[in-house]
A and B are shown apart, each in its own frame.
Chain A
Amino acid sequence: EAGVVQSPRYKIIEKKQPVAFWCNPISGHNTLYWYLQNLGQGPELLIRYENEEAVDDSQLPKDRFSAERLKGVDSTLKIQPAELGDSAVYLCASSDGVNTEAFFGQGTRLTVV
């Protein structure tokens, strides 16, 4: 069975440009997470979905970040405009419940120059 798939793996953009990341969770997993991970830090939750509903987006910087999960399957995370401080790894994870194992994709490494 395929795991969590993310694309692109790497992205380099100039500041003030928009960027989007895509995630396809494990089939049947209703819970989807987007995390941001800076070097030397643990993943920090940006947003959690239950099916198509964003049930926790309290840590999402809504002035520049947006996310959607149409039809409760794939999800996209967008940054517009990107800032230098957004350089990080963006991880998508999915699970079949809030107290169960989260499976991670390989992440998208974003560099803003």
Chain B
Amino acid sequence: RKEVEQDPGPFNVPEGATVAFNCTYSNSASQSFFWYRQDCRKEPKLLMSVYSSGNEDGRFTAQLNRASQYISLLIRDSKLSDSATYLCVLGGFKTIFGAGTRLFVKA
């Protein structure tokens, strides 16, 4: 089993849609979690950290479920500019990236 697993997608959604991505992880000792965004042929950039209490940043909401070992990312009111690959990341001594979920938002 991979340490971090994501649905590769792609997710094709219309503008204004709500879309959710899930990510499962195998190491129950993982301490920190992040969502990164990667545009085509660009480097990954931090989208948001994920806290046990959940956190929200504008249209983006991240949740952590330690008992079930998954994290989620919810994007509301999708914009064309949200089209990218979203990477689930476990921080720590071995910062581990998932393979990413591709999102296409169409007009």
Q: Which positions in A face B, CB cutoff 8 Å?
A: 33, 35, 40-45, 48, 55-56, 91, 98-102, 104-107
Contact = CB atoms under 8 A, between A and B. Distances in A.
B66 interface: no
Report the interface size class on chain B. 20 to 34
A39 to B, nearest CB: 10
Contact of B43 (A44, A98, A101, A104): A104
Interface of B is mostly: loop
The 9 closest A-B pairs by CB, nearest first: A42-B97, A104-B43, A99-B32, A101-B46, A99-B91, A42-B99, A43-B97, A42-B100, A42-B98
B95 A98 contact: yes
Interface string B29-62: 0011010000000111110010000000000000
Contacts of B96: 45
Contacts of A41: 99-100
A91 to B, nearest CB: 6
B87 interface: yes
A101 B87 CA distance: 13
B1 interface: no
Interface of A is mostly: loop
Contact of A104 (B4, B44, B94): B44
B52 to A, nearest CB: 13
Contacts of B32: 99-100
Given A42-B99, A43-B44, A106-B43, A56 B34 contact: no
A83 to B, nearest CB: 23
Contacts of B34: 101
A68 to B, nearest CB: 20
A44 B34 CA distance: 16
A33 B42 contact: no
